[in-house]
């Protein structure tokens, strides 16, 4: 091995010689790290999404990394969860400096608040429809239920 391809490193008092031609970079991740998530979309297209590591699970057969991923759209934001392990296909993560994310917490929270308001309105509408069915269609449906031997709910 030539001198340019070897390096001697001291680890805990022990000197170890490395062959740099065969050395590999090892990435370390911990819960709370911000990451970029490369996800396959359709066909051969890929998209990079911002994420945060929310779990590291040391399963004996399949150690896994759980990542919360922000799905950003013009109108809304969704939070998804992906699992990365040796069986994952079309999914990679890489470290990222939070400054690179180009995300404003205020903007994302505002989009989530709008989504909450929309869903609260949908819930109110659904409850209103139920009330209409129970109060306005009650006699009609009760007659149907009796004719078909069903008990009222």
Concatenated DSSP letters for the chain?
--GGGEEEEEETTEEEEEETTT--------TT-EEEEEEE-STT-EEEEEEEEEEEE--SS--EEEEEEEEE-SS-EEEEEEEESTT--SEEEEE--GGGG---HHHHHHHHHHHHHHHHHHHHHHHHHHHHHHHHSHHHHHHHHHHTT----
Give the strand pairing for 34-40 and 91-95: antiparallel
149/50: higher pLDDT: 50
Residue-level pLDDT at 126: 96
Residue-level pLDDT at 96: 84
- Per-residue pLDDT band for 144 (boundaries 50, 70, 90) equals confident
Residue-level pLDDT at 123: 97
Residue-level pLDDT at 62: 85
152/53: higher pLDDT: 53
In this structure, how many other beta carbons lie within 10 angstroms of the beta carbon of residue 48? 12
Taking the C-alpha atoms of residue 140 and residue 136, their distance in angstroms, rounded to an integer, is 8
Residue-level pLDDT at 98: 67
How much of the chain, in percent, has pLDDT values that exceed 70? 88
Residue-level pLDDT at 138: 72
Residue-level pLDDT at 24: 67
Average pLDDT of every residue of the chain: 81
Taking the C-alpha atoms of residue 130 and residue 135, their distance in angstroms, rounded to an integer, is 8
The two tokens of residue 85 are 């392990």
pLDDT digits 0-9 by tens, 112-132: 898 899 999 999 999 999 988
pLDDT digits 0-9 by tens, 78-91: 888 988 888 888 88
Residue-level pLDDT at 25: 67
The two tokens of residue 20 are 């740099």
């Amino acid at each position: 091995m030539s001198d340019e391809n070897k390096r001697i490193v001291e680890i805990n008092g022990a000197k170890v010689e490395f062959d740099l031609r065969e050395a590999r970079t090892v990435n370390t991740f911990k819960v709370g790290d911000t990451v970029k998530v490369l996800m396959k979309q359709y066909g051969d297209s890929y998209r990079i999404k911002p994420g945060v590591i929310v779990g590291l699970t040391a399963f004996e057969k399949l150690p896994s990394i759980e990542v919360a991923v922000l799905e950003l759209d013009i109108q809304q934001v969704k939070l998804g969860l992906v699992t990365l392990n040796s069986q994952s296909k079309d999914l990679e993560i890489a470290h990222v400096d939070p400054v690179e994310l180009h995300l404003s917490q205020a903007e994302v929270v505002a989009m989530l608040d709008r989504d909450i308001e929309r869903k609260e309105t949908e819930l109110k509408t659904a409850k209103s429809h139920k009330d209409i069915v129970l109060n306005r269609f009650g006699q009609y449906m009760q007659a149907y239920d009796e004719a078909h031997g069903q008990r009222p709910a």
